[in-house]
């Protein structure tokens, strides 16, 4: 016990302690209610504004009326509904693959996919900035984990030549969650072909944003058929909850039989499956909202750069402002909150040391008017804290 207390107080000294959370008492929207105050929300993954879309709400309510609430069992026992089957077909069509399988979260998908596919005989090559759920899947698998420099193909090839074994996987985020930049999939595919390796893309932040019909990063680069395993989440742009894997039928059959996070957990409730189905239907047709979001994000990014902030190399609605110092990052985030703007401060171990940042992300439903106000406030406090020149 004493040891735990010591660890916690050392976290506090370093400014890395996670205090109690901010609690919302309203919908996930551009303006939310936090502790009785109206706040502009600027760090949500609800990119397309679907979390509180009336069409999704109606889909959920109708499903509750027909199917009730809990699903009652694992997918392998009594928890599979016709809606699960429809959604798996929908995801496969949307992603352009033979088949798909739904997990309860993206985290569970990554852990289940990687730990069932790979074992000690495998070598996994993973981008340094990959999401924690990928790392956890790798660790659970017992495979040899080799991390290459972020999006650095020379480093990847060097490490392949040095470490490759009989069975090899290259795994990468499609869009990096804390950077907003995109993995060089065509180069990854070329290396995978050359050395006979399996490829996997985690498209948690690509789906709904990039590619034809918003179908994701593989489509954006036109390498859908060359990526073996496309994983993603239903919880971000799609506005619901869940994870999935899409790919060839034999991969999906394999995961259905061996992915433990799929097998040993109660299925998602029909209401949320229905919500996801409706969301994908909307996303496929709605080019306008997607274009609008990307344009607004580009405008906002350029405003920040012009003001002197250090912004990552992003092409998505994720617009991280890298501050560097942990305490300054938290101070900036807290100053903004006092002015009615909530942007989460992201610190190690979520991002590498010395790269603490505000992870700004936009929703299609934000207004230019609110964003102008945000720019004024962030400029003022950026100068006051010495983050940009005043
Ligand atoms: C959010 C996220 C996940 C996990 O998805 P959840 O559905 O939230 O569990 C996996 N990978 C990446 C890159 C993510 O950003």
- Give the active site residue among 90, 95, 205, 366: 205
Give me the catalytic one of 131, 236, 278, 381: 236
177 included as an active-site residue: yes
Check residue 167 and give its pLDDT: 98
Closest residue by Cα to atom 8, ligand 1, is 106
pLDDT value of position 315: 94
pTM, entire model: 0.96
Interval between CA 388 and ligand 1 midpoint (Å) = 32
| Short-list 200, 219, 227, CA closest to 137 | 200
* Binding site membership of 235 for ligand 1 (Cβ less than 6 Å): yes
pLDDT in tens, 127-151: 999 999 999 999 999 999 999 999 9
Pocket flag, ligand 1, residue 133 (CB < 6 Å): yes
- Predicted confidence at residue 14, as pLDDT, reads 83
Task: State the Cα–Cα distance between residues 242 and 233, nearest whole angstrom.
Answer: 6
What is the structure's pLDDT at 13?
Answer: 87
pLDDT at 166 over 90: yes
Q: Which atom of ligand 1 is nearest to the CA of 241?
A: 7
Q: Please state, in angstroms and as integers, the Cα–Cα distance from residue 260 to each residue in 108, 184, 279, following that order.
A: 9, 31, 27
Backbone φ and ψ for 51, nearest 5 degrees, come out as: -55, -30
Q: Which atom of ligand 1 is nearest to the CA of 107?
A: 9
Q: Sheet containing 318-324: give its strands across.
A: 318-324, 356-361, 345-346
What is the tens place of the pLDDT at every residue in 169-201? 999 999 999 999 999 999 999 999 999 999 999
For the cut 90, the answer to whether the pLDDT of residue 291 exceeds it is yes
Exactly one of 100, 115, 126, 177 is catalytic; which is it?
177
Question: Region 285-296: what's the mean pLDDT?
Answer: 98
Of the ranges 21-25, 46-50, 92-96, 316-320, which one carries the lowest mean pLDDT score? 21-25
| Percent of the chain's residues with pLDDT above 70 | 100
Model confidence band, residue 21 (pLDDT cutoffs 50, 70, 90): confident
Ligand 1 geometric centre to CA of 221 (Å): 21
Residue 297's nearest CA partner among 212, 209, 175, 376 is 209
Domains, the chain: 24-48+287-384 (3.90.1150.10), 54-285 (3.40.640.10)
Q: How much is the average pLDDT of 320-328?
A: 95
Compute φ and ψ for 278, nearest 5 degrees. Answer: -60, -40
Question: Does residue 216 line the site of ligand 1, with CB under 6 A?
Answer: no
pLDDT for res 2: 86
pLDDT in tens, 77-119: 999 999 999 999 999 999 999 999 999 999 999 999 999 999 9
pLDDT at residue 16 in the model = 80
205 lines ligand 1 (CB under 6 A): yes
- Answer whether 233 contacts ligand 1 (Cβ < 6 A): yes
Tokens matching residue 221: 């680069």
Q: Is 304 in the pocket of ligand 1 (CB under 6 A)?
A: no
User: How large is the average pLDDT for residues 37-65?
Assistant: 97
**Would you say the CB of residue 53 lies under 6 angstroms from ligand 1?**
no
Instruction: Label residue 284 exposed, middle or buried (CB < 10 Å: 0-12, 13-18, 19+).
Output: middle
């Amino acid at each position: 016990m004493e040891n735990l207390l010591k660890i916690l107080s050392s976290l506090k000294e370093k400014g890395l302690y996670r205090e109690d959370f901010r609690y919302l008492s309203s919908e996930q929207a551009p303006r939310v209610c936090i502790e009785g105050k109206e706040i502009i929300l600027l760090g949500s993954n609800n990119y397309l504004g679907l979390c509180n879309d009336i069409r999704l709400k109606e889909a959920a309510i109708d499903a509750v009326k027909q199917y009730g609430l809990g699903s009652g069992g694992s997918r392998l026992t009594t928890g599979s509904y016709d809606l699960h089957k429809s959604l798996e077909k929908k995801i496969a069509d949307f992603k352009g693959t033979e088949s798909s399988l739904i997990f309860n979260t993206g985290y569970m998908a990554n852990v289940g996919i990687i730990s069932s596919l790979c074992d000690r005989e495998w070598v996994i090559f993973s981008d340094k900035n990959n999401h924690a759920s990928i790392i956890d899947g790798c660790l659970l698998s017992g495979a040899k984990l080799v991390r290459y420099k972020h999006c650095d193909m020379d480093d990847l090839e060097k490490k392949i030549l040095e470490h490759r074994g009989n069975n090899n996987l290259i795994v990468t985020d499609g869009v990096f969650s804390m950077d907003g930049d995109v993995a060089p999939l065509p180069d990854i595919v070329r290396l995978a072909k050359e050395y006979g390796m399996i490829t996997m893309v985690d498209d948690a932040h690509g789906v709904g944003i990039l590619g034809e019909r918003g179908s994701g990063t593989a489509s954006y680069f036109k390498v859908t058929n060359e990526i073996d395993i496309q994983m993603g989440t239903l919880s971000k742009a799609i506005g619901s909850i869940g994870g999935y894997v899409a790919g060839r039928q034999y991969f999906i059959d394999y995961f259905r039989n061996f992915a433990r996070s799929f097998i040993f957990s109660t299925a998602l409730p029909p209401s949320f499956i229905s919500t996801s189905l409706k969301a994908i239907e909307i996303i496929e047709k709605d080019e306008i909202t997607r274009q609008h979001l990307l344009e607004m994000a580009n405008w906002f990014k350029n405003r920040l750069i012009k003001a002197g902030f250090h912004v990552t190399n992003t092409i998505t609605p994720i617009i991280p402002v890298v501050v560097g110092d942990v305490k300054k990052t938290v101070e900036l985030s807290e100053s903004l909150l006092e002015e009615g703007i909530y942007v989460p401060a992201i610190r190690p171990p979520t991002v590498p040391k010395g790269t603490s940042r505000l992870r700004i992300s936009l929703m299609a439903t934000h207004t230019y008017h609110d964003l102008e106000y945000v720019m004024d406030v962030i400029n003022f406090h950026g100068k006051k804290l010495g983050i940009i020149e005043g």
